[in-house]
Amino acid sequence: MERGSDKHGPRLDEGLKGETAGMMRAGRDTHVEEWKSAEPSGEDEPDVDRAPHATMVGGTPPGMDGDDVEGRSEVASYLATSIWPAGREQVLESAIDHHAPDRVLDLVRRLPGGRSFANVNEVWLALGGHVETNRP
């Protein structure tokens, strides 16, 4: 079963991706016309912030920092969801099949052999990362 957007098709998805590519590479708004830019938060609305100890509450899950969130997400983006449970070799094969960059392949090669991983969290823990702690 393939899960994708149920709002529109792959062709429109690609078009929308192209519209935001410059902004994603630049890390800032790239619109010349002000009216196309997103409006800032209102006075009675919370600020939008990714830093966990800044103005936005809950920027990262308890037990993780921004590096853990981004690292685990990057590793997960190159692994098929259908491989679990998987051993080191299956994880590495999936990363290669999904054209993972060298930094991700180097991380996956560090996984211990002879062990089965149930999900990406277990892979990230085995690589020395942190995952969410149980909330009270």
pLDDT over threshold 80, residue 124:
yes
d(CA 70, CA 85): 22
Mean pLDDT along residues 54-75: 75
Mean pLDDT along residues 77-92: 91
pLDDT of 55 reads: 52
DSSP 8-state symbol, 86: E
- pTM (predicted TM-score): 0.56
Return the number of other C-beta atoms located less than 10 Å from residue 1's C-beta: 2
pLDDT band at 32 (very low <50, low <70, confident <90, very high): low
- Decide if 56 contacts 50 (C-beta within 8 A): yes
DSSP 8-state symbol, 32: S
